[in-house]
Amino acid sequence: MQVFVWLDDAIIDEITPKLIGDRPNTYTYTKALGEMVVQQESGKLNIAIIRPSIVGATWQEPFPYWNAVSHRAPAIIYDFYLRLTGRKPRLRNIHYLFNTALFLIAWRLLIARSQVARNVWFFIVSFCYKFLSYFRASSTLKV
């Protein structure tokens, strides 16, 4: 960070594209750097990184799928259209998905050490997949 204090803005603008490479912006670049440091320095620790792409929907505030950001409105309208045409909407309730992800990560990091545990792990994953597949159709925006 101290480098940016004494570097000229023109030089920073010139080296930024070379640093971030094919990443879309500096946020994704620094996020990947942080994950790489954790991966390299973790040793034999059990570490999991959860990287949701977009966290925007809530369960109860003030109603399901509420979001104050206006760019979500087209997605909600499109999902409403999908529901009208009998197709599954894309919106998912983040609370349910995140809680399921936390459960699966805890199991994977803390428990799954033997062959029996791995068999139970695959059973749980398949069960969660079936549950969430059913839940996707029943928990999304209602018409």
CB count in 10 Å sphere of residue 98: 14
What tens digit of pLDDT does each residue of 86-132 get? 776 665 556 666 777 777 777 777 666 667 777 777 787 787 777 76
Q: In whole angstroms, give the CA distance from residue 33 to residue 22.
A: 14
Which amino acid is it at 81? Answer: Y
Q: In whole angstroms, give the CA distance from residue 23 to residue 19.
A: 9
pTM value?
0.33
The least confident of 2-6, 27-31, 43-47, 91-95 is 91-95
What pLDDT is stored for residue 24 in this prediction? 82
What pLDDT is stored for residue 69 in this prediction? 46
What tens digit of pLDDT does each residue of 43-90 get? 777 777 666 555 555 555 555 555 544 455 666 677 677 778 877 666
Which amino acid is it at 128? Answer: C
